């Protein structure tokens, strides 16, 4: 049973409300954009830094066309084995159009920051690393993933054929945890057909089957803690 470092349910609710508010604003401001992906992003070692990201089919098509028109870059990538680089523009959140929502979740920052200060004092770590703030990071990431699931469960991302057009997942910045988090959150948050389509495009652009298998066979401490939390709330 997980021992929570902050009010997990309150954090989950704040993130749910924040995601709903940010994505609703994006939809209202760009009503003619076909949004195909929604994401919450955390930061490694500093678990309180979360924000929201989305992209549209139109923005992806423009970015992909610009990339493909650069024949020298495309040729260089293909010579290096990056045959699916165009999908990076589809699933790599740094290339997406809409990011923000930090002001919508200030209460979440306060919850996690208080726990982070207490955790640092107890462990007296001098520098960030893979074993720093393990439980705090896992709990922060899980709260964000479950907030997206709550949003999806009420039909925010659509239903039926409409929902099949949309992919939802969670990511993290500058972290070795990024690929298993993206993969597992996508599998958790989407209908099977949506996940399978995402996986087929995302995998060759981002990582490999072999590396994912290694992460499953030898999960990090954050991975283990995250999986336990998700199982407790499923």
- pLDDT for 98 equals 97
Cβ-based neighbours of 72, under 8 Å, separated by 6 or more? none
The answer as to whether 47 is a domain residue is: yes
- DSSP label of 46: -
Q: If DSSP codes are grouped into helix, strand and coil, which group holds residue 172? A: strand
Cβ-based neighbours of 9, under 8 Å, separated by 6 or more? none
The answer as to whether 3 is a domain residue is: no
The answer as to whether 148 is a domain residue is: yes
- pLDDT for 81 equals 62
Output the six-digit token pair for 3: 């021992």
The CA distance from 149 to 155, in Å, is 10
The answer as to whether 2 is a domain residue is: no
pLDDT in tens, the chain (234 residues): 889 999 999 999 999 999 999 999 999 999 999 999 999 999 876 677 899 999 999 999 998 888 778 777 767 667 656 556 788 889 999 889 999 999 999 999 999 988 876 555 455 444 445 567 899 999 999 999 999 999 999 999 999 999 999 999 999 988 889 999 999 999 999 999 999 999 999 998 888 899 999 999 999 999 999 999 999 998
- pLDDT for 133 equals 85
Four-residue CA torsion sign, 23, 26, 27, 32 = negative
The answer as to whether 1 is a domain residue is: no
Instruction: Give 28-83 pLDDT, tens digit per residue.
Output: 999 999 999 999 999 876 677 899 999 999 999 998 888 778 777 767 667 656 55
- pLDDT for 157 equals 98
- Residue 197: domain span: 8-232
- pLDDT for 77 equals 62
- pLDDT for 125 equals 45
Please answer whether residues 93 and 107 qualify as being in contact, where contact means their C-beta atoms are separated by less than 8 angstroms: no
* Helical spans, DSSP H, in 177-220: 178-189, 192-206, 209-217
The answer as to whether 210 is a domain residue is: yes
Contacts 24+ apart (CB under 8 A), 193-197: 193/164, 194/163, 194/164, 194/166, 194/167, 197/167
Four-residue CA torsion sign, 218, 221, 223, 226 = positive
Give the total number of structural domains in the chain: 1
Q: Is the pTM of this model over 0.85?
A: yes
């Amino acid at each position: 049973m997980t021992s929570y470092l902050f009010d997990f349910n309150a954090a989950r609710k704040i993130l749910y409300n924040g995601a709903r508010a940010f994505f609703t604003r994006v939809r209202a401001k760009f009503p003619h954009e076909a949004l195909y992906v929604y994401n919450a992003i955390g930061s490694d070692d500093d678990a309180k830094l979360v924000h929201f990201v989305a992209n549209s089919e139109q923005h992806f098509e423009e970015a992909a066309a610009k990339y493909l028109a650069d024949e020298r870059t495309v040729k260089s990538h293909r010579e290096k084995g990056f045959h699916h680089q165009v999908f990076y523009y589809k699933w790599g959140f740094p290339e997406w159009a809409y990011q923000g929502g930090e002001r919508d979740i200030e209460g979440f920052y306060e919850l996690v920051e208080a726990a982070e200060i207490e955790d640092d004092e107890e462990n007296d770590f001098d520098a960030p690393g893979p074993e720093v703030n393990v439980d705090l990071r896992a709990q922060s990431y899980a709260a964000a993933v479950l907030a997206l699931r709550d949003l999806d469960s009420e039909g925010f991302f659509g239903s039926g054929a409409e929902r099949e057009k949309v992919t939802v997942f969670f990511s993290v910045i500058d972290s070795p945890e990024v690929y298993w988090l993206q993969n597992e959150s996508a599998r958790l948050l989407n209908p099977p057909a949506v996940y399978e389509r995402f996986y087929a495009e995302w995998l060759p652009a981002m990582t490999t089957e072999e590396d994912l298998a290694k992460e499953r066979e030898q999960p990090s401490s954050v991975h283990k803690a995250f999986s336990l939390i998700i199982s407790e709330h499923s």
